[in-house]
Amino acid sequence: MSDVLVYKFGGTSLDGADRIERALQLAQEATERGSGVVLVASAMGATTDTLHELATAGAGDAATIRRLIERHQAVARQLCSGAVLSACLAAIDAVGVELGEQVAALRPWRSPPAATTAAILSTGERLSTRVIAAAAAERGFAATLVDARQLIRTNGDHLEATVDRPATAQLLSAGARPSAGELVVMQGFLGATAEGTTTTLGRGGSDYTASLVGAALAATEVVIWTDVDAVMTCDPKVVPDARPLAQLSYRVAAELAYCGAAVLHPQTIGPAVEAGTPVRVRNPHLGSGPGTIIHAGGDHRGPAAIAFKQGITVVNVTSSRMLDNYGFLRRIFATFEAHRTSVDLVTTSEVSVSMTIDDESALPAIVADLEQIGTVTVEQRQAIVSMVGDGLLEADDVLANAATAINGTPVTLLSLGASDVNLSLVVPDAASNHTVRALHHALLDMQPQLKKETFR
Ligand code: ASP
Ligand code: MG
């Protein structure tokens, strides 16, 4: 079997004829090297937002639909000609008519059934893939347009559908596998139930689609073409010296995603992680470099990045009854569960427990309940600052250098993840930027440059 690459392009990377042209150029470079390519496409630009407004406004907005259709047709005209163009324009018109009917059937001031909303939202990807497939045909390379609704099998939770993984893997393997040098074009974000009603995988779901395809086809790589050049050692807005990372392990990528760094959602890459498929984040612009590869291996030990998240609340519960007793932790966590609030960091001593939450909406009720268990104090406007890396403490002097760097900063809480991937501090929001810069300087600037790696 030939090698398969999955290329996922987000809305921004498909927004206009030039960008679609660039996406196809990248795909063609890969097919010319002999790879089979599956191009998983989002809707163009902010199309899904517009469709969402159409669905929720609950009234037939003919002008908006016309603009949407005309915009896709205008892009098609820039990219195609002759019979390819006429067929594409007709296909876009047909999707437009269908959309018009769906929107006309909506009732003002009443939210539509989820199945109707999903059908309306699916329009964006169905339109973008039509244009892309036609533009590929115009460039003269073998492209097959497949329908994700026949390949991604889901349950009936129409707007946030759960994928039937075994069924989907089989369908993809039989229906989306490109041969050597072939391009398959497919919608991200969409699926369908066994009965054939359209579903969506939740906003931003195209990355997940790409990961499903990559896993099912045992792809060499899933490339998420997006508007960031790479995953950075830190947010460059806070640390101007932040550097791009050539590689990351799945575990570190997952930690960074929680800590507010702009990488992929851990759930998104789940199928790729299970299948051991590398996922690369990369910018389609010419000259923007190889991006960051996220994979199972990674021989780099020690700190890789500093991430942070502001607007955190720390809840402390102290009780002398906790000493030599049992069941306290269960009661404390049951309180958070009852109020549907997720706890992120936890530290305990013999008589106290400290926890962080990022959602304060149930805080008063949580505090009232916890006061039945012990003395409760709350610290708001805090930030989690995380040092992240595989074998974080294996590199020399990490703890000592971190301690020196934060000397004088009031630390509310400190937590070392059991897996040695994440050492997190909680500091006041007001001190967080300074703390992040100091730690980046101490742990990442001073390090010898990471081994330079070259990729295809
Ligand atoms: N078009 C969908 C959205 O905007 C899916 C995606 O782009 O990933 O949410
Ligand atoms: Mg949380």
One digit per residue, the tens of pLDDT, for the chain of length 456 reads 679 999 999 999 999 999 999 999 999 999 999 999 999 999 999 999 999 999 988 666 889 999 999 999 999 999 999 999 999 999 999 999 999 999 988 877 678 899 999 999 999 999 999 999 999 999 988 799 999 999 999 999 999 999 999 999 999 999 999 999 999 999 999 999 999 999 999 999 999 999 999 999 999 999 999 988 899 999 989 999 999 999 999 989 888 876 666 668 878 889 999 999 999 999 999 888 899 999 997 667 899 999 999 999 999 999 888 777 788 899 999 999 999 999 999 998 888 999 999 999 999 999 999 999 999 999 999 999 999 999 888 878 888 999 999 999 999 888 887 778 899 999 999 999 999 999 999 999 865 444 333 332
Residue 321 CB-density burial (10 A; 0-12 exposed, 13-18 middle, 19+ buried):
exposed
What letter would DSSP give residue 232? Answer: B
Residue 184 CB-density burial (10 A; 0-12 exposed, 13-18 middle, 19+ buried):
buried
Mutate to test the pocket of ligand 1, among 72, 152, 189, 198 (most ligand atoms within 8 A of CB): 189
- CATH 3.40.1160.10 residue window(s) in the chain: 4-225
User: Under a CB-based contact definition with an 8 Å cutoff, are residues 359 and 379 in contact?
Assistant: no
* Dist. CA 367 → ligand 1 center (Å): 38
CB 205 less than 6 A from any atom of ligand 1: yes
Of all ligands present, the nearest one to the C-alpha of 148 is 1
CB 118 less than 6 A from any atom of ligand 1: no
Closest CA to 80 of 26, 13, 131, 14: 131
For ligand 1, atom 8, which residue shows the shortest CA distance?
204
| Residue 354, pLDDT score | 95
User: Under a CB-based contact definition with an 8 Å cutoff, are residues 256 and 198 in contact?
Assistant: no
- Between CA 326 and CA 328 the distance in angstroms is 6
Question: Which CATH fold topology does 4-225 show?
Answer: Carbamate kinase (3.40.1160)
Atom of ligand 1 at shortest range from CA of 203: 9
- Between CA 417 and CA 38 the distance in angstroms is 38
H helix runs in 201-265, sequence order: 206-216, 250-258
* Dist. CA 124 → ligand 1 center (Å): 9
CB 226 less than 6 A from any atom of ligand 1: no
279 - beta bridge partners?
Answer: 222, 294
* Dist. CA 42 → ligand 1 center (Å): 6
CB 11 less than 6 A from any atom of ligand 1: yes
* Dist. CA 45 → ligand 1 center (Å): 9
Of all ligands present, the nearest one to the C-alpha of 360 is 2
Mutate to test the pocket of ligand 1, among 206, 211, 268 (most ligand atoms within 8 A of CB): 206
User: Under a CB-based contact definition with an 8 Å cutoff, are residues 276 and 219 in contact?
Assistant: no
Distance in Å from the first CA to the final CA of the chain: 20
Q: What's the CA angle centered on 352, arms 346 and 358, to 5 degrees?
A: 35
For ligand 1, atom 9, which residue shows the shortest CA distance?
203
- Between CA 356 and CA 426 the distance in angstroms is 9
* Dist. CA 358 → ligand 2 center (Å): 6
Atom of ligand 1 at shortest range from CA of 201: 5
Atom of ligand 1 at shortest range from CA of 206: 8
Tokens standing for residue 267: 């759930």
User: Under a CB-based contact definition with an 8 Å cutoff, are residues 4 and 183 in contact?
Assistant: no
Q: What's the CA angle centered on 356, arms 350 and 362, to 5 degrees?
A: 115
Closest CA to 441 of 452, 429, 433: 433
* Dist. CA 209 → ligand 1 center (Å): 11
CB 188 less than 6 A from any atom of ligand 1: yes
| Residue 393, pLDDT score | 85
- Between CA 105 and CA 58 the distance in angstroms is 9
Could you tell me which residues come within 8 angstroms of residue 337 by beta carbon, excluding any fewer than 6 positions away? Answer: none
- CATH 3.30.2130.10 residue window(s) in the chain: 305-445
Which residue in the block uniquely carries the two structure tokens 């992680």? 273
Phi, psi torsion values for 65, nearest 5 degrees = -60, -45
Span 305-445: which CATH code? 3.30.2130.10
CB 88 less than 6 A from any atom of ligand 1: no
Report percent pLDDT > 70 for the chain. Answer: 95
pLDDT in tens, 210-244: 999 999 999 999 999 998 889 999 998 999 999 99
- Between CA 255 and CA 263 the distance in angstroms is 10
Tokens standing for residue 312: 């955190």
Atom of ligand 1 at shortest range from CA of 10: 7
CB 187 less than 6 A from any atom of ligand 1: no
Tokens standing for residue 370: 């916890």
Closest CA to 115 of 39, 197, 187, 47: 197
CB 204 less than 6 A from any atom of ligand 1: yes
CB 42 less than 6 A from any atom of ligand 1: yes
Phi, psi torsion values for 428, nearest 5 degrees = -60, 145
User: Under a CB-based contact definition with an 8 Å cutoff, are residues 120 and 99 in contact?
Assistant: yes
Atom of ligand 1 at shortest range from CA of 205: 8
| Residue 119, pLDDT score | 97
